Structure 1
Amino acid sequence: MKTHKQATRTAKRNLMIIVIVILLGIGTVVYRLADRYLIEHVEVVVADDPAGNVSTAGSTGGTAGTSSTSAAAAADTSAEINATSDDWSYTSDDIQIKIDQVESGSGSDLITYYVADVVLKEASSLRSAFADNSFGTNITENTSAIASGIDAIFAINGDYYGFRDDGVIIRNGTLYRDEPARDAMALLEDGTMQTYNEEEVSSSELLAEGATNTLSFGPVLIQDGEITSDFSSVKIDNNFGNRSIQDANPRTAIGMIAPNHYVFVVVDGRKEGYSRGMTLAELADVMSGLGATEAYNLDGGGSSTMYFMGRVVNNPLGKNKERGVSDILYIKE
């Protein structure tokens, strides 16, 4: 028969075991959340191209997949570039960029956004880059830091691919991820832009068609010259911490007016008296009004950033404070 002292010791031991089990459980959950959303993971992927060649992607995100033609062009730094520029425009033999600040509405309904009209001689002037020059999850840098590090003339944030583990991710001609999940957008080497469903068009088909970059976020705003839907039930993913994308928010979008003629829009928001942001329907209307025949919504909120000639053009979240992103689209001679 147990004495009172023995019973007390047994009760304390059992309580300690329960506490340890609870702490281990909490620790496991915390680690898994940190591993998913905080700890950097550089991924190394071996991808096959349509010709059967194998390339390694992941450890050199900024340059992997670069074609021999573009590599040779990049190596030729001796060519003189004749360009003129100011705070809102850039003109050279190969690139024309004009940026406008636009305001609509008033008071609590005021919206401030920025439109960059871009005409390129060669599609290869529009490229993508990864944060920290690496492909993976939870690897982030500010849009301006990525852009300035590669001497970009112009840049916007991309699709924040590193916040999710699905989607078809082709960057600079190399396939990094092949997990079809949603409607996406492809930039092609002929200077055109194509919106498509990842579950209906394979990565091998995209590469065979000349896709240089794909972005997986959405939704598609305009396809074949028509606004695609009312956007009332759009769902991108279920990641922890996602905000609703139905309401007025800061936005980033890319559209094509004609081959090698693009329009980039960044909308500020969440600051009363400066800009409330836009709904997806409003953004689609803006892109249509600009003449886009294809248009696609990219990551928004705190990510929405437009960079030009060494400065951030817009005012992210009305705080002049960028949020780190995993990737950008940029323009360079």
Structure 2
Amino acid sequence: MSRAIRPRRRIRRAVVATALTVVLAGGSATAWALDRFVVEHVEIADVDAYVAAQSATSTTTSDEGASDTGDDADATASAGVLTDTTYTSQDASITVSTVTTGSGDDTVTYYVADLLLSDATVLRSAFADNSFGTNIIETTSEIGAANDAVFAVNGDYYGFRDTGIVIRNGVVFRDEGAREGLAFYRDGHVEVYDETSTTAQDLVDAGVWNTLSFGPALLEDGEILDGIDEVEVDTNIGNHSIQGEQPRTAIGVIDDNHLVVVVVDGRSPGYSAGVTMTGLAEIMQDLGAQTAYNLDGGGSSTMVFGGELVNDPLGKGTERGTSDILYIGGLSSAVEE
């Protein structure tokens, strides 16, 4: 029996006029913070239409004979078989498992999704509210439901910042190199790269399908990288929240088109304390990843499978809004067993 698509529940970060007046009265610094972190700034209001237009005019050929656009990947999607912990179709094989280590306040609980893809373009990206810009958020579940996702995980929260190279589903959205990024190529291989040494168009021309801009890289050639516990992200606003034991999301590469995604819950003594960056790297290493990269974490760390929330963000059972996800489609056509 086919699984019904859940209705999409839109959420927007609303600013009530009376509250806005009070906040603005607090001074220009408060007004700046409100504009920087709360108010939506939409650059592209209909991403699907934008991608279609870009794909129609693009003359770039695929690398290694892969499909030219994500539409081809959608067109070849087939009905899959879905259980509580697995999904199998001609395009993807997904296995989700739960791991618990330690005891008492040192307990750590994390969730592992092993992904085998027939083609690199099966792993796609989607934006909150089908819009590109800053401070546009929906939960991972909501973005996933809007895109028929059988599997979804939070991305890099690109919308929190205005820097970084953002290429999604083969289309350039931002070209402001600033940090160490991760590039998924159409031929199935994945590379950590220096955003400041290239351009978004050069990456697309080389066959890049998706990029992520957060970090740091955790593993290279299967070895844990030095200094990862001291790395800061968004230091221009004093964001030190990635230090210490925290909820985490990471993606790793075992082989071409063989990925592993980990979501670690945290800040929940007795259930899951979270892990340091080195602890996250050790998890990825134990899973056989050769390359691994840290994504947005904290309350954003969320895994959704079969339309259901898998983990327990911050031990509260509710999701925090984010700007983007990585996902695999096919939920509406899946047959449940």
Same fold (TM over 0.5): yes
Instruction: After TM superposition, give the deviation of residue 231 of structure 1 in Å.
Output: 1.7
In the TM superposition, what are the counterparts of 1:14-33 in structure 2 within 5 Å? Answer: 26-33=26-33
Give 1:41's aligned residue.
41
Name the CA distance, whole Å, in 2 between partners of 1:206 and 1:39. Answer: 31
Name the CA distance, whole Å, in 2 between partners of 1:146 and 1:75. Answer: 17
8 Å CA contact 1:97–1:119 kept in 2: the answer is yes
User: SS of the residue aligned with 2:197?
Assistant: coil
Structure-2 change in CA distance of 1:256 and 1:94 (3 Å): same
Instruction: After TM superposition, give the deviation of residue 244 of structure 1 in Å.
Output: 2.8
8 Å CA contact 1:62–1:130 kept in 2: the answer is no
> Which amino acid in 2 is paired with 1:60?
D
Name the CA distance, whole Å, in 2 between partners of 1:255 and 1:24. Answer: 44
Match 2:242 to one of 237, 241, 245:
245
Match 2:232 to one of 227, 232, 235:
235
Give 1:61's aligned residue.
47
In the TM superposition, what are the counterparts of 1:1-333 in structure 2 within 5 Å? Answer: 26-43=26-43, 58-62=44-48, 64-65=50-51, 67=55, 69-70=68-69, 72-73=71-72, 76=75, 81-238=78-235, 240=237, 242-333=239-330
Structure 1's consecutive aligned runs of 4 or more residues displaced over 6 angstroms after TM superposition are: none
**For structure 2, which runs of at least 5 residues remain unmatched after alignment?**
1-22, 57-67, 331-337
> Which amino acid in 2 is paired with 1:27?
G
8 Å CA contact 1:185–1:216 kept in 2: the answer is yes
User: SS of the residue aligned with 2:235?
Assistant: coil
Normalising by structure 2, we get a TM-score of 0.82
Instruction: After TM superposition, give the deviation of residue 73 of structure 1 in Å.
Output: 3.0
Deviates more, 1:264-273 or 1:168-177: 168-177
Instruction: After TM superposition, give the deviation of residue 182 of structure 1 in Å.
Output: 0.8
Q: State the aligned residue count.
A: 295
Give 2:5's aligned residue.
none
Give 2:14's aligned residue.
none
Name the CA distance, whole Å, in 1 between partners of 2:304 and 2:195. Answer: 29
Name the CA distance, whole Å, in 2 between partners of 1:175 and 1:32. Answer: 28
Higher Cα Rg, which structure: 1
Deviation per CA, 1:259-310, whole angstroms, max 9, x where unpaired? 1100000000000000000100011011111111111000000000000111
Deviates more, 1:282-291 or 1:61-70: 61-70
Name the CA distance, whole Å, in 2 between partners of 1:80 and 1:294. Answer: 27
Structure-2 change in CA distance of 1:283 and 1:63 (3 Å): farther
Structure-2 change in CA distance of 1:30 and 1:210 (3 Å): same
Name the CA distance, whole Å, in 1 between partners of 2:97 and 2:207. Answer: 31
Structure-2 change in CA distance of 1:223 and 1:64 (3 Å): farther
User: SS of the residue aligned with 1:221?
Assistant: strand
8 Å CA contact 2:216–2:294 kept in 1: the answer is yes
Normalising by structure 1, we get a TM-score of 0.83
User: SS of the residue aligned with 1:288?
Assistant: helix
Name the CA distance, whole Å, in 2 between partners of 1:179 and 1:267. Answer: 30
Instruction: After TM superposition, give the deviation of residue 82 of structure 1 in Å.
Output: 4.2
Instruction: After TM superposition, give the deviation of residue 94 of structure 1 in Å.
Output: 1.6
Name the CA distance, whole Å, in 1 between partners of 2:74 and 2:202. Answer: 30
Structure-2 change in CA distance of 1:166 and 1:65 (3 Å): same
Name the CA distance, whole Å, in 2 between partners of 1:126 and 1:303. Answer: 20
User: SS of the residue aligned with 1:314?
Assistant: coil
> Which amino acid in 1 is paired with 2:123?
L
Instruction: After TM superposition, give the deviation of residue 24 of structure 1 in Å.
Output: 7.9
Structure-2 change in CA distance of 1:174 and 1:272 (3 Å): same
8 Å CA contact 1:62–1:129 kept in 2: the answer is no
Instruction: After TM superposition, give the deviation of residue 239 of structure 1 in Å.
Output: 5.5
8 Å CA contact 1:184–1:214 kept in 2: the answer is yes
